[in-house]
Structure 1
Amino acid sequence: MTYSSHPFLRANENRPVHAGFDDDTTALIKALGFTPRRYAAETVIVRQGENKDRMFVVESGWGCIAHELAGGQRQILDFALKGDIVLPQFNGGGALETFVALTDLSVLVASTKTFALAAMKSPPLFSVILEALVQNGAVIAQHLTNVGRRSALGRSAHLFLELIARLERVGAVNHDSFECPLTQYDLADVLGLTPIHVNRMLRELRERKFLEFRHGHVRMIDRAGLIKFAGFAGEYVES
């Protein structure tokens, strides 16, 4: 998932990292066949069932990867954030997941065939992708645990702690606060709750003085207390 700390993709330690890339690495990846693309908010980039075998590196914006169910419901499996690698799963019939831009989204994109050829030229790039896939599995495991075993309040707290940890790694957090474009419907679809239940959980987190989520902005009020309450161990978001 997030790969910005890998030595192949690490920028100068004394300056901010943009999507995990320094200029030389960006040029290399583009030379290996990855091309820049921009998608408007709410664009379906890969639809479940489509035979579009591509991979993406997120440079800016928010996206989500979801499994769509009959009747219009969906389960959000993960969010695609700055510095993430998105590799939708495929079988013989097409994509198993839908990849959607939640905000305006800038990515580098290549076919998996192009990536395979690129990896032959650049083993470190192949290593980065493997690490990203391992980390993606760890994130999905935590989301499954959220839905299956954590309380509604616990899973809500855990998700916000995961988001701030991931965003912190790419310089998108300021004084324990970050911009968050997720709606209560998005949160409901990742947490396995109803939007009304999500609203109650957000109110309870605010009343307990753990965090505040207003107008697309999350502010951690008592991050240490929230970590203790949620039993959050953030090693799984580290590379």
Structure 2
Amino acid sequence: MPCNDNNKIAKNCLSCVVRKSTIFGSLTDDEMASVEGYIEKKRHFQSGEYVIQENSSVNYSLCINSGYLILGSYLENGSRQIFQVAMPGDSIGFSHSNADYNYFVQAMTEVDVCVISNVTVDKLIGEQKAIATKLIEILSHNTAVNQQYLLNLGRKSAREALAYLIMDISTRIRQRLIKCTTNESELSFFPLNQEDMADILGMTKVHISRITSEFKKEQLIQCSHKTIKVLDEDRLSEIGGFSVLD
């Protein structure tokens, strides 16, 4: 995890290497300095650890400083549905209500997060009106993007959906980490295994394995443990109907 090396826990928000990717990315330095006083603490989680349990009452929100998490829920038949992969710069929560979370948040790698309570979010909204307006606009936009993302996947064939997922995750990781490293092996890091991808796309692990083998045979990707290197971005994007503007 390259960003961890020099930024295990950012000393302050202004120096955070993922700041521009967060919901605070559009704030000026002066505005960010004002927000920094509302950040209450930082926490570290191990890979596999649940950051938030499904149906638990949580009164705080998170900004991801480093690492990768999945958001999902367990269905009545015991199967798992993953609906979001969160990475450095993403936020979770930021609601001023203390309603139970109807989904879980689990670390896929070691994770560092910045924590702000919902009471403090209320205080921020009340005391920093201009900043609050910006944050609400960004959160509304992010919600719309996530909804469209799920719709895009639902309309695709299995092959198209997997191509789209690989391109989306790989592109987002590269965009976030390019400021931290130029090491190609680190930029090819892929936090999901085949079971995770199956639970995102609603397929079986066997189906994911078969399509992945096809992509490798067609020299579209190279795979190893926690690594997927895209060899032909244009072709894989074409198959998945993926655009960096999605």
Q: TM-score interval w.r.t. the shorter chain? A: 0.7 to 0.9
- Quote how far apart the aligned CAs of 1:125 are: 5.6
Higher mean displacement: 29-38 or 189-198:
29-38
Q: Which digits, 9 at most, give the CA deviation of each residue in 1:184-234, with x for residues without a partner?
A: 111111111111111111111111221222111111100011112221122
Separation of aligned partners in 2, 1:213 and 1:186: 15
Q: What residue number does 1:19 align with? A: 18
Unmatched segments (≥5 aa) in structure 1 = 1-9
Compute the TM-score of the two structures, normalised by the length of structure 2.
0.78
Q: Once the 2 structures are TM-superposed, how far is the Cα of residue 103 of structure 1 from its aligned partner?
A: 1.1
Question: For residues 31 and 102 of structure 2, what CA distance do their matches in structure 1 show?
Answer: 30
| Number of the residue aligned with 1:152 | 158
Confirm or deny that 1:117 pairs with 2:123. Answer: yes
User: 1:143 matched to which residue of 2?
Assistant: 150
| In structure 2, distance between residues paired with 1:182 and 1:229 | 20
1:194 alignment counterpart: 204
CA contact (8 A) 1:64 1:78 kept: yes
Percent identical residues: 21
Q: In the aligned structure 1, how far is the partner of 2:210 from the partner of 2:106?
A: 27
Gaps of 5+ in 2: 1-12
- The total of aligned residue pairs comes to 222
Aligned residue for 2:10? none
Distance in 2 (alpha carbons) for counterparts of 1:187 and 1:80? 14
**227, 230, 233: which is aligned to 2:240?**
230
CA–CA distance in structure 1, aligned partners of residues 14 and 160 of structure 2: 35
**Is 1:46 aligned to 2:52, yes or no?**
yes
Say if 2:169 and 2:190, in contact at 8 Å, map to a contact too: no
SS across alignment from 1:70 = coil
Using a 3 Å threshold, how does the CA distance of structure 1 residues 167 and 132 change in structure 2: closer, same or farther? farther
1:35-114 correspondence to structure 2 within 5 Å: 35-87=41-93, 94-114=100-120
Displacement of 1:25: 7.7
Deviation at 1:96, TM superposition (A): 1.3
Q: 1:132 to 1:218 in 2, by over 3 A?
A: farther
Q: Deviations over 1:14-59 (max 9, x none)?
A: xxx7122599887654411342111111111111211113211001
Q: Does 1:170 align with 2:176?
A: yes
* Distance (whole Å) between structure 2 residues aligned to residue 169 and residue 128 of structure 1: 22
Q: 1:130 aligns to what?
A: 137
* Aligned-CA RMSD value: 3.0
Residue number among 213, 232, 235 corresponding to 2:223 in the alignment: 213
